[in-house]
């Protein structure tokens, strides 16, 4: 009744103000929505950029790594001018009994023979606990086995073989082992 009798001007001002607020809020929400859509698209596009990586892991049956299990990994290198990082990827349970693992890592370049090198990979300490990332009682560690980026001398198929050489056979608590090769950008 207040707006209908003699107060048409104030009624129109009120309606205009309400309409303006709705449009302003609508514009604000639309702007924010557009911003987040654009941000999401940029993140998606950046995430879809081709990262030149090889990674393959071999699961260890019953989490018992026996001496005779020597997972092998083959990958192709075509760019010998670029530098690469080489990692051993190891997943283990919290029940793994040691702070380290000794591995024999064999490398075979195209047209060459398999050459082994022994590595002592630290997985944790009593003071600080496990290294790497963990979820519950599962831990994954990625350890570099080179002294920084390096170049492959030949293009072609490379082969890596990994064997555990701890004193315990089977070695319990190891879930998987693998190799990761990343091209340095």
For tokens 């990674």, name the residue: 55
Give me the chain's average pLDDT, please.
Answer: 84
pLDDT at 185: 86
pLDDT at 52: 75
Q: Is the pLDDT of residue 62 over 80?
A: yes
* Mean predicted confidence (pLDDT) in 66-84: 96
Is residue 179 within 8 Å of 89, Cβ to Cβ?
Answer: yes
Instruction: Give strand ranges (E) for 16-114.
Output: 53-59, 64-65, 72-77, 84-93, 100-108
pLDDT band of 49, cuts 50, 70, 90: very low
Model pLDDT for residues 95-145, shown as the tens digit of each residue: 999 999 999 999 999 999 999 999 999 999 999 999 999 999 999 999 999
Q: Is the pLDDT of residue 51 over 70?
A: no
**Cα separation of 170 and 68, whole Å?**
9
C-alpha closest to that of 150 among 88, 54, 106, 86: 86
Q: Percentage of residues in the chain with pLDDT exceeding 70?
A: 72
pLDDT at 4: 46
* Mean predicted confidence (pLDDT) in 90-94: 97
Q: Is the pLDDT of residue 31 over 90?
A: no
pTM, two decimals, is 0.72
Model pLDDT for residues 1-22, shown as the tens digit of each residue: 444 444 555 556 555 555 555 4
Q: Percentage of residues in the chain with pLDDT exceeding 90?
A: 71
pLDDT at 167: 96
């Amino acid at each position: 009744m207040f707006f209908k009798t003699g107060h048409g001007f104030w009624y129109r001002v009120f309606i205009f103000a309400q309409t303006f607020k709705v449009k302003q809020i609508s514009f604000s929400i639309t702007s924010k929505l557009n911003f987040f859509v654009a941000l999401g698209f940029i993140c998606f596009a950046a995430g879809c950029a081709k990262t030149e990586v090889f990674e393959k892991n071999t699961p260890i049956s019953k989490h018992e790594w026996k001496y005779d299990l020597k997972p092998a990994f083959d990958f192709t290198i075509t760019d010998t001018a670029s530098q690469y990082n080489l990692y051993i990827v190891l997943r283990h349970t919290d029940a793994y009994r040691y702070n380290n693992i000794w591995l024999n890592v064999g490398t075979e370049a195209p047209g060459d023979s398999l050459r082994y090198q022994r590595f002592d990979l630290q997985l944790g300490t009593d003071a600080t606990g496990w290294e790497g990332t963990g979820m519950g009682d599962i831990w994954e560690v990625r350890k570099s086995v080179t002294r920084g980026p390096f170049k492959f001398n030949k293009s072609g198929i490379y082969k890596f073989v990994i064997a555990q050489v701890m004193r315990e056979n089977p070695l319990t608590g190891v879930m998987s082992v693998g190799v990761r090769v990343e091209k340095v950008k």
